[in-house]
């Protein structure tokens, strides 16, 4: 059986739905590729247009600007992670096991699972690590938040916070701990590869070490005292 996953996106993120056309899919797919190759700062719609053999104006018909494209990509990613979290923790009752699943889903490199037709999830994960914070670290956070551009991120955070609360209903900081898990899964991996002395895994460079660190951190915090 082949299953294909369709993720519903916030319509305000684009001018024309990129999933509906070939060019649109190319923009997202190769946009991810190009951002990964040259970094978000150097990335321009002109370069992307050349990369996929269209014109700058052609790209602008789909997205207002490159920041919107980054938000689009990031939303897609968090939606996809949330789907995987729900799928993988379904039918598990033990909230401890659920949390471990969540941590490893967040911190371990994904292999492209081909469930989604046009996105390479492994490269996507690397972009998220290096670029996702830039979606909200702007003077537009509040406005963008009102447009619900960060809903997928906040929803994922809420899902994790709920698992934490099931584990220990008396724990006082479920949301902050959830956002800490998500952010640190990204940052510790980034540090491990790029500024290794900020971590304890500079030598081995294994994502499983980040998982161990986060598990230790989280379960010490939420265990019933």
By CB under 8 A, residue 191 contacts its own copies:
yes
Q: How far is the CB of 4 from its own copies (least distance, A)?
A: 31
Contact 73, 52 (CB under 8 A): no
> Each residue of 107-124: b (16+ CB within 10 Å) or e?
bbeeeeeeebeebbbebb
Which of positions 61-100 make contact with DNA (CB under 7 A)?
61, 64-66
Identify which range of 52-60, 94-102, 112-120, 128-136 contacts DNA by CB under 7 A: 52-60
Q: Which pair of structure tokens corresponds to residue 52?
A: 């996929």
Contact 54, 8 (CB under 8 A): no
Q: How far is the CB of 78 from its own copies (least distance, A)?
A: 12
Q: Which pair of structure tokens corresponds to residue 19?
A: 């999933």
Q: How far is the CB of 126 from its own copies (least distance, A)?
A: 12
By CB under 8 A, residue 138 contacts its own copies:
yes
Q: How far is the CB of 66 from DNA (least distance, A)?
A: 6
What are the angstrom distances between the C-alpha of 45 and each of 11, 42, 216? 20, 10, 43
Lookup result for tokens 């998220």:
128
Residue selected from 61, 66, 115, 175 as contacting its own copies according to rule CB under 8 A: 175
Residue 138 has φ and ψ, to the nearest 5°, of -140, 170
Of the candidates 78, 196, 165, the one whose C-alpha atom is nearest the C-alpha of residue 127 is: 78
By CB under 7 A, residue 45 contacts DNA:
yes
Residue 216 has φ and ψ, to the nearest 5°, of -60, -45
By CB under 8 A, residue 44 contacts its own copies:
no
Which residues fall within 8 angstroms of residue 44, CB to CB, at 6 or more apart?
66
Bin 91: left if φ > 0, else alpha if -120 < ψ < 50, else beta.
left
By CB under 8 A, residue 173 contacts its own copies:
yes
Q: How far is the CB of 175 from its own copies (least distance, A)?
A: 5
Residue selected from 41, 56, 64, 94 as contacting its own copies according to rule CB under 8 A: 41
Residue selected from 56, 94, 147, 216 as contacting its own copies according to rule CB under 8 A: 216
List residues binding its own copies (CB under 8 A).
38-39, 41-42, 130-131, 133-134, 136-139, 141-142, 145, 150, 153-154, 157-158, 172-180, 183-184, 187-188, 190-191, 194-195, 197-201, 210, 213, 216-217, 220-221, 223
List residues binding DNA (CB under 7 A).
16, 20-24, 42, 44-47, 53-58, 60-61, 64-66
């Amino acid at each position: 059986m082949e299953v294909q996953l369709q993720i519903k996106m916030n319509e305000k993120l684009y001018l024309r739905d990129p999933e509906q056309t070939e060019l649109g899919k190319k923009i997202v797919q190769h946009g991810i590729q190009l951002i990964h190759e040259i970094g978000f700062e150097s990335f321009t719609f002109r370069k992307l247009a050349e990369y996929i053999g269209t014109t700058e104006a052609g790209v602008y018909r789909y997205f207002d600007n490159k920041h919107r494209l980054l938000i689009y990509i990031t939303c897609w990613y968090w939606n996809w992670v949330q789907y995987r979290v729900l799928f993988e923790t379904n039918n598990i009752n033990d909230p401890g096991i659920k949390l471990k699943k969540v941590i490893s889903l967040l911190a371990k490199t994904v292999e492209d699972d081909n469930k989604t037709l046009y996105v390479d999830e492994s490269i996507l994960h690397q972009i998220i690590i290096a670029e996702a914070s830039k979606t909200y670290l702007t003077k537009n956070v509040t406005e963008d938040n009102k447009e619900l551009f960060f809903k997928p991120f906040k929803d994922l955070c809420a899902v994790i916070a709920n698992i934490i609360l099931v584990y220990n209903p008396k724990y006082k900081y479920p949301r902050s701990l959830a956002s800490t898990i998500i952010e640190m899964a990204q940052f510790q991996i980034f540090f491990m590869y790029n500024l290794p002395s900020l971590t304890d895994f500079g030598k081995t460079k294994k994502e499983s070490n980040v998982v161990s660190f986060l598990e230790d951190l989280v379960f010490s915090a939420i265990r019933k005292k």
